[in-house]
């Protein structure tokens, strides 16, 4: 890999694509060329990068000639079709969709957890689901010190997880609600303003869990390299524009205290403790939005566990950044 690679952003005009550009610029990612790729309807439009206008090109199978790293965020069907094409052309595809996450031949990577897995790639590297990244980035340092046997997660997921159209639907429906006007939702299956509902991914009739919940189960096991960890998740959409929150309860092999967790996470990469019981100040979407750390607070003993092996906490992370674009760019940084 060149120290100044040619980079393509696939899905450049989408919510995550915009964040790709911002991350690449803010982190001064070394590049010889930046190629912006999107659908035919965006061809010829321009996006700014470091003060320069870059013309968007139409995404085709021929788009990857001369590209070293391709950052994908254009949906699973496009990834399934074109990630192998990009890899065959000599690029390394870092894919933000779910298309390859559970493929045993594709590394599923959070750089703070399993950077060594990157070296095992065969042209494609998968970016985990946003809810998984936000939950387990702060859990990994604990797991290394005192193995986590069980995880129970409840998510509070922002509109950003469903893309720019969902964010706009939340804005528009909230405005209509306040004005007393009727609004017909078209992006999400239920009214979004002043409402919350179970994550809108498909439910498996065999176990009652939806796809988002099962992603957290399967991806955590793969990334941790631990198929025995017991996990249950409940994923919910809430009327927040950006940044997911999650309530996490973990059970460890040995006794663990809130003080232990504070000490373990105090200097953990990608994590910031926000835990002030006196002021009742804990992780919130407004503080998580626009920055890369996972905020961790409400760190307390799980009083339902009489053996002292369990901790409950609350976390918040920017779904578009560490939950998507930033994690992928961090992977790309490891490749250079």
Does residue 143 register a pLDDT over 90? yes
Q: Place 2 in a pLDDT band, splitting at 50, 70 and 90.
A: confident
Is 6-128+324-335's fold the same as 132-319's? Answer: no
Query: pLDDT tens, 274-305?
Result: 999 999 999 999 999 999 999 999 999 999 99
Kindly report the CA angle at 49 between 51 and 8, in degrees rounded to 5? 155
What are the structural domain ranges in the chain? 6-128+324-335, 132-319
The phi and psi torsions of 263 (rounded to 5 degrees) equal -70, -40
Q: Annotated catalytic residue: which of 130, 235, 245, 252?
A: 130
Is residue 121 annotated as a catalytic residue, yes or no? no
The arithmetic mean of pLDDT across residues 61-69, rounded, is: 97
Is residue 23 annotated as a catalytic residue, yes or no? no
Q: Which fold has domain 6-128+324-335?
A: Rossmann fold (3.40.50)
Strand partners for 310: 251
Query: pLDDT tens, 222-249?
Result: 999 999 999 999 999 999 999 999 999 9
Kindly calculate the radius of gyration of the chain based on its CA atoms and give it in whole angstroms: 20
**Which class in CATH covers the domain with range 132-319?**
alpha beta
Q: Place 1 in a pLDDT band, splitting at 50, 70 and 90.
A: confident
N-terminal to C-terminal alpha carbon distance within the chain: 6
The residue whose two tokens read 């010889």 is 32
Query: pLDDT tens, 9-54?
Result: 999 999 999 999 999 999 999 999 999 999 999 999 999 999 999 9
Q: Annotated catalytic residue: which of 121, 143, 244, 309?
A: 244
Question: For 128, which DSSP code?
Answer: P
Structure tokens at 208: 């009652």
What percent of the chain shows pLDDT beyond 70?
A: 100
Q: How far apart are CA 92 and CA 85, in angstroms?
A: 10
The arithmetic mean of pLDDT across residues 76-95, rounded, is: 97
DSSP 66-82: T-SEEEE-S-HHHHHHH
Structure tokens at 97: 């969709």
Distances (CA, A) of 293 to 71, 200, 231, 320: 21, 27, 24, 12
Q: How far apart are CA 192 and CA 157, in angstroms?
A: 12
β-pair type (124-126, 46-49): unpaired
Q: Average model confidence (pLDDT) for the chain?
A: 97
């Amino acid at each position: 890999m060149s120290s100044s690679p040619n980079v393509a952003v696939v899905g450049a005009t989408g919510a995550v694509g915009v964040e790709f550009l911002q991350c690449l610029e803010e982190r001064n990612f070394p590049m010889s060329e930046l190629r912006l790729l999107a659908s035919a309807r965006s061809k010829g439009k321009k996006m700014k990068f470091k003060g320069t206008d870059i013309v968007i090109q139409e995404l085709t199978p021929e788009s990857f000639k001369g590209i070293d790293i391709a950052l994908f965020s254009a949906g699973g069907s496009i990834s399934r079709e074109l990630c192998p094409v990009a890899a065959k052309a000599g690029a390394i595809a870092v894919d933000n969709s779910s298309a390859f996450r559970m493929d045993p031949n594709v590394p599923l990577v959070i750089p703070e957890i399993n950077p060594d897995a990157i070296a095992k790639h065969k042209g494609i590297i998968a970016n985990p689901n946003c809810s998984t990244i936000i939950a387990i980035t702060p859990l990994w340092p604990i797991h290394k010190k005192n193995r986590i046997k069980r995880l129970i997660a409840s998510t509070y997921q922002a509109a950003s997880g469903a893309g720019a159209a969902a964010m706009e639907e939340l804005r528009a429906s909230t405005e209509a609600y306040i004005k007393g006007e009727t609004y017909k939702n078209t992006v999400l299956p239920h009214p979004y303003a002043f409402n919350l509902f179970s994550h809108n991914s498909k439910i498996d009739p065999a176990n009652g869990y939806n796809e988002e919940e099962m992603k957290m189960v399967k991806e955590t096991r793969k990334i941790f390299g631990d198929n025995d960890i017991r996990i249950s998740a409940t994923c919910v959409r809430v009327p927040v524009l950006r940044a997911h929150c999650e309530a996490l309860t973990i059970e460890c092999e040995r006794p663990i205290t809130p003080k232990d967790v504070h000490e373990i996470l105090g200097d953990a990469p990608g994590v910031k403790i926000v835990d002030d019981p006196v002021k009742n100040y804990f992780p919130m979407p407004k503080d998580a939005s626009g920055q890369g750390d996972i905020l961790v607070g409400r760190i307390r003993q799980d009083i339902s566990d009489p053996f002292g092996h369990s901790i409950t906490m609350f976390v918040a992370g920017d779904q578009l950044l560490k939950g998507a674009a930033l994690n992928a760019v961090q992977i790309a940084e490891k490749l250079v």
